[in-house]
Structure 1
Amino acid sequence: MTPADLAELLKATAAAVLTEHGLDTAALPTSVTVERPRNPEHGDYASNLALQLGKKVGANPRDLAGWLATALAEKDGIAGADVAGPGFVNLRIDASAQAVIVSNVIDAGTDYGHCAALQGHHINLEFVSANPTGPIHIGGTRWAAVGDALGRLLATQGAAVVREYYFNDHGAQIDRFTNSLIASAKGEPAPEDGYAGDYIKDIAAQVLAKEPDALGLPDDEMHETFRAIGVDLMFTHIRQSLHDFGTDFDVYTHEDSMHTSGRVERAIARLRDVGKIYEKDGAVWLRTTDFGDDKDRVVIKSDGAPAYVAADIAYYLDKRERGADLCIYMLGADHHGYIARLKAIASALGEDPATVEVLIGQMVNLVRDGQPVRMSKRAGTVITLDDLVEAIGVDAARYSLIRSSVDSPIDIDLQLWSSASAENPVYYVQYAHARLSALARNAADLGVTAGTAHLGLLTHEKEGTLIRNIGEFPRVLKTAAALREPHRVSRYLEDLAGDYHRFYDSCRVLPQGDEAPNDLHSARLALCQATRQVIANGLGILGVGAPERM
């Protein structure tokens, strides 16, 4: 009996109990929640349904809980039901009924935990989108890990997800980048507002290798040569770094294309048609204050150049025209103002502001030996994705960045995350998977096979705890997807790994010596197979490897 099965049973039983006592069944909620008590002595699952219903139907909650417990105790698969506190119902599940969870995992395999909750939804997920003026910094690296995991998570719920990188290759920052390349090529120091670091020297040298006469060209041609080649080289490096990190995108959109394709002009024309554009002080303005923004936004500056928001308008409209019914933007800690701005843009265009969702990620700090790590070997002033991977590896880097809510700043202890110890969370989870893989190999050598025919033999306390935690996986994914919080998957995996290690220490899985394999060995091996599958599925959502040997 899965938690979902139990919730349905509880709802049906409550309907029957209310009818029996002449109470209104219309008060029943659409869905019923059952939870695992923190104290296992209180039962396998608990529900507060009687507390929810009592006042609505005019019954004492504890009396109602008693009626529910009596009715539930007679149901198949329920080993016991009792009332606690002011009206909680605590339930114990029969071992045979509970063990169906193991069969479900084995049957579903890599699809276990998936559902169709977001079936039919088309989600555009934009993340990282770093300027092409340097390597991906540590903040962007956090989004590379979290965004990729969120995309995988949403897909498990049935959503069609397009992962998109918006390449900011238009505007003043590109001019500063280009001028920095030219200065380096000439052997001059970087401009005061330019970019420094060895990567600038490398790219400048590569531009000259491709175009040896670039410095002798007229200024406009020289600038365009360094811009075009330099931006392409930087973008190539960014894409390769992200790919090596396990993060790939379905679509790469260039900001410059919003201007060269006429999308900006078309978007402004649409806004003008609906009366949301006005002119003042020689500039063109958008009335975003009509929709909750703190001030109206300049779209075309007084010198005729488009403001940055012009591309934002065109880009949002482009996403919607490509079929996105939800546009999720994952932005850095300094972009809080974009929340109201992007929603106002949607409203001004006549779209539902709920089609815009903005997630803000907080800062990341690296620590070694208790001291902050501040300088990058390559970028000169910031820590980069490549620096982090070099220090602790891809799996640890991804896991460490996903493991905490993006609402909170995090410190990554390089010494901890590179260690092969149980204190290292990713090592702890991966070791559980490797241990389970070794167990499967040993079982094959001994001729022990996993079987689901005798799962009712799994009556040990540690077996029950492990089974119930496996059964929570679908709910964890559904909640994590709904809240956009992939860190919930990480924390769940750590709990599951702990339950497995405790089970393994208490319950012997394989026969020893001359002992012949029996039904209990087979059932426990099936439980191990299911546990291994869930850990692999969870690590896969995080984009982290599930090693078979460590």
Structure 2
Amino acid sequence: ADDREFTASGDVNDVESIRQFAVAYLRNEQDKDLRAFDLHFDNYYLESSLYTSGRVEAAVKKLQDAGKTYEQDGALWLKSTEYGDDKDRVMRKSDGSYTYFVPDVAYHIGKWERGFTKVVNIQGTDHHGTIARVRAGLQAAGVGIPQGYPDYVLHTMVRVMRAGEEVKISKRAGSYVTLRDLIEWTSKDAVRFFLLSRKADTEYVFDIDLALAKNNDNPVYYVQYAHARICSVLAAWGGDVDSLREADLSPLDSPKALGLMLELAKYPEMLSAAAADFAPHDVTFYLRDLAAAYHSYYDAERILVDDETVKKARLALVAATARVLHNGLQVLGVSAPQKM
């Protein structure tokens, strides 16, 4: 059902046929966006399947059998206050339908049972209120799920500016900007870098004109240009980069060289912290700082000097910088061009 193809009946009164076609069409549109972004999802999971497979009913039964529910005013309630929520939550309304956090509980029980002990949910900030109740339901189910499962990263909406004006988006009017639109207007690299250049829960404005600019104000251009600039130096030298491993680094004693080396030394710890904190924006900030340190060093000292020892030391430093720039960009899924 997740990669469905469907041909509508053509009958304007056949609501179910129209619904099936709409789901298939929008799923196809999502896939086109993801392919343009070089993203692949191994599995899609339709919420409706949680009902048809009986997983929702099974999850509710687990909670009832554990004594974590009660009936009141014709509704079924979860004792979520026992797990830190500010009030108990309705699970099944008086009309027999379930509230929207219940299938989330059922889904995550299934995910845990499938062996996913580390789960990160990426959602909009409007879902913030569901976190406590979903976690409460998972704790109450008594299936061994630890406290604080799953993790969440909440994103705000992105505003888009073009030619100095905000691109108007309206659900009611059916006007919206897709990921593919941004990629076609700018580039995959720009979209990836820009969207990762801020904390997920902070307001962000995607400036189309800035993403197209070929100057230092454009952060992705600035970082990629630093890498290309180093590649140009190494190409002009024409030697074997691997031989620089044995270079004597003692000539690297100037303030600019030392500053660049200190920036390089931050990379492993920064990357580990960014991964642990779900903070890819830290990688973008670091790459911008590293590029700035390199540009400053390049402007201060000639690299291809006559003194062989000094030259190889400086080449080793910039080659290491190129490696870290390349690796950092690769983590973000952004290319590291050798020429620009």
TM-score by length of 1: 0.57
State the Cα deviation string for residues 6-43 of structure 1 (Å, max 9, x = none): xxxxxxxxxxxxxxxxxxxxxxxxxxxxxxxxxxxxxx
Unaligned 5+ runs, structure 2: none
What is the one-letter code of the residue matched to 1:235?
R
Q: Tell me, what secondary structure is at the counterpart of 1:367?
A: strand
Deviation, structure 1 residue 451: 4.2
Aligned counterpart in structure 2 of residue 323 of structure 1, from 112, 115, 132: 115
| Match runs of 1:148-547 below 5 Å | 210-211=7-8, 213-215=9-11, 219=13, 222-350=14-142, 351-375=145-169, 380-444=174-238, 450-511=244-305, 515=306, 518-547=308-337
Pick 1 or 2: higher relative contact order, CA cutoff 8 A, min separation 6.
Answer: 1
Q: 1:493 Cα deviation (Å)?
A: 0.4
The 3 A distance-change label for structure 1 pair 448 and 335 is closer
Letter in 2 for 1:532: A
Distance 1:241 1:259 in 2: 28
Letter in 2 for 1:524: R
Letter in 1 for 2:154: I
- Indicate conservation of the 8 Å contact 1:449/1:525, yes or no: no
Distance in structure 2 (CA, Å) of the matches to 1:333 and 1:375: 18
Matches of 1:461 and 1:383, distance apart in 2? 47
Higher Cα Rg, which structure: 1
What is the alpha-carbon root mean square deviation over aligned residues?
Answer: 2.5
- 3-state DSSP class of the match of 1:214? coil
Secondary structure of 1:501's counterpart equals: helix
For the 8 Å contact 1:297–1:309, the answer to whether it is kept is no
> How many angstroms does 1:445 deviate by?
7.1
**8 A contact 2:73–2:94 mirrored in 1:** yes
Report if the CA contact (8 A) 2:36-2:183 is conserved.
no
User: What secondary structure sits across from 1:503 in the alignment?
Assistant: helix
* Whole-angstrom distance in 2 between the partners of 1:233 and 1:225: 12
CA contact (8 A) 1:452 1:523 kept: no
Change (3 A) 1:271 1:428: same
Q: Deviations over 1:150-190 (max 9, x none)?
A: xxxxxxxxxxxxxxxxx8x9xxxxxxxxxxxxxxxxxxxxx
Which SS does the other structure have where 2:253 is aligned? coil
TM value normalised by structure 2: 0.89
| Residues 326, 354 of structure 1: 8 Å contact kept | no
* Other structure's SS at 1:227 match: helix
Aligned partners of 1:447 and 1:403: how far apart in 2? 31
